[in-house]
Chains A and B, each alone.
Chain A
Amino acid sequence: MSHTPTTRTMTPGKPGAMSRAATLDVAAALFAWGCAAIVTAAFAWLLIDVAWRGVGGLSWSFLVDEPSDAGRAGGVGPVVLSTLLILAVCMAVSVPLGLGAAALLAEFTRGDTRFARLVRRSLDVLAGVPSIVFGLFGNAFFCLALGMGYSILSGGLTLACMVLPILIRVTEQGMRDVPDAQRHAAAALGLSRTTTLLRVTLPAAMPALAVGLVLGVGRALAETAALIFTSGYVTRTPASLLDSGRSLSVHIYDLAMNVPGGETHASAAALLLIAVLLAINLLTNWITRRTHPGWH
């Protein structure tokens, strides 16, 4: 812009008009800052509140011990293990499936075929389905129809169904955002479509996949309704994926709502859950930055 001479110059104009525009600018800026401040303050308040109530209950023994007296005493060791296993099952299933579906939508059905539109529409509807519906579906399908019973496997698969829509849509958008010029260049080099996908598009869309992952993990970790009917309520240390195992969110819910005197341990467990969430967030961020220096 700077090198093109412009005929328009800044005219002082009427002092009144100028100041009105300036006032508007200031007001808009204040409003924007205010909104951001409110959002940040709400998060800070939540964090400080949970930390304040929960930090007293956190200790090494709380992290590793088995719960006793319905969770009022003891720790959350088996619960943390179950939570991580459920998350692992969920991710092991949803990431490959999600990548495949996103690749189909973004690479193999360019444009708007009827099929692609149908898939997209279904995903958007699925993403909005209340989690209790996934819970009841998971209970009916995985636990009963497929005979997995209340188990970590059932819970992880139910969560995978729930997380997939977000994961696919975000990854698909990431793949679409890769400039076509890169695909053309790959084609000009004689690369096959698959090679282009694996070597060009996918690496370029990795940051988007990371965002999808963080969103998915967040939703999975926070989930209570979908898990209480699938992975269940048992606090024993799981010996396998076919054992029932209580997730941290279910544990927090039970302590806060069902167990008189469970508030202290509920807060400590909530703080732990937030810490795990933040840790996963930071880790994903760090990996993405390491592999994609330009992205933030």
Chain B
Amino acid sequence: MSSGQGALTAELEKLLGPEAVLSGPAAERAYDCDAYTVDRSKPSAVVLPRSTDQVAAVVRWCNSRNVPYTARGAGTGLSGGALPALGGVVISTKRLNRILEIDVANQCLLAQSGAVNRKLSEVVRPYGLHFAPDPSSQTVSTLGGNIAENAGGPHTLKYGVTVQHILGVTMVEPSGEIIQLGGRVPGGPGYDFVGLVVGGEGTLGVVTEAWVKLVPIPSAVMTALVSFSTVRQATQSVADIIATGTIPAALELMDRGILNAVSQAFKINYAPGTEALLLIECDSDHSHEAMSRVEAEMAEVREVCERNGAIDIRIAADDAERAQLWTARKKGVGAMGRIAPSIVTHDGVIPRSKLPEMLDFVYQVAKEHQVGVANLFHAGDGNLHPCFYFDDRDPAQVHAVVEAGERIIRRCIELGGSVTGEHGIGVEKIDLMSLMFSIEDLRLQADAKRVFNDGDLCNPCKVLPNQKSCVEHKKRWRGTAW
């Protein structure tokens, strides 16, 4: 540890107590990246505050010493949002993990930003409520991280993304001031600052608490796993289901690549000839007629799938079978480890109507670059996650994966979509922002950022390109690497 770093650590220990400060090689290694592992940058120190006041004290200290800082939840972010790009202090919300107030009657809850997503639902389950945003990382990702990235998940299609479930936040501004935005009563006159902060990728301040909206747990749920012999049949079914006016709670697509991995990992078999699966969930909370509504929706879904040539339709008989049907979706990416040493999971969005041609393009690109690909989609939203699998010990394969990933994301923009549906820009896609937005568009975004952050200490080098002192992104690959 350098003497400068030693002095920094000593000052932080004096501020928060030694038990709240980590430094040295082990801390540097543990906090030098999030789940986007290709870019790493060592922090000078890591702090674990227990309160909003302590977070504010750290931010003010950083301001006084001109030290950059980066908030970090569980570190499951997939675009480098928690990467301490210019070093400095990582502010971990690990100890800001309490549920502070549960207001059942008003269907909301106040939690610290380090509270785990899944835990929010668990504590209110006895009241028949849950926190709807369900990213795949929900068993570990934190409320603050979900807010920073405006997290989605499979049930986004019906229930919306995180911003639609955040009523208010307590945030430490980059000035060091503690502010409260929004509150339990939604709406209200004035500018929607909560809407700007959610999805701000931790660059507008450090959120320490949030009032979240709770929704009733559906009283009726039906889950179907539908097998198709071609991917086109599956994508056409997606389009046709949406066209009926039904909004399923979840509508996920997985191709043969994912199924192979899941079959190997979990010994699950699918109908012979299956090239694509649709996982479709319908639900309702209209208590006295919920089941008949759900049955009617599922009947309509079934009819669409059969019309498009479904070769097998399994409907879960109970919760245990429902969990089993979800296995391919929830464990598909992890199971990819069975078939290759490395995988990269991308994140892009295209209009739903472009699903068939986009999938064709993904397969074509993979073939041209001679890399393996498996596809996992939030098909209802057009949010794709192509997973390239390869051996990163072979530089030629790494190069091929980089090139293939770039082509996929560029194609998303060409088709009228977005460079990211839920992983965020972070550092990963910062140089793609200019493909989607003009200079004037980016100036508008920069002005919006200035409302809260007019400096360069709060989570620098994220979201907007051309920030000062930020090194050029190391172009290894896009997406999450495993």
A and B associate in one complex: no
The chain B residues found within 8 Å of chain A, CB to CB, are: none
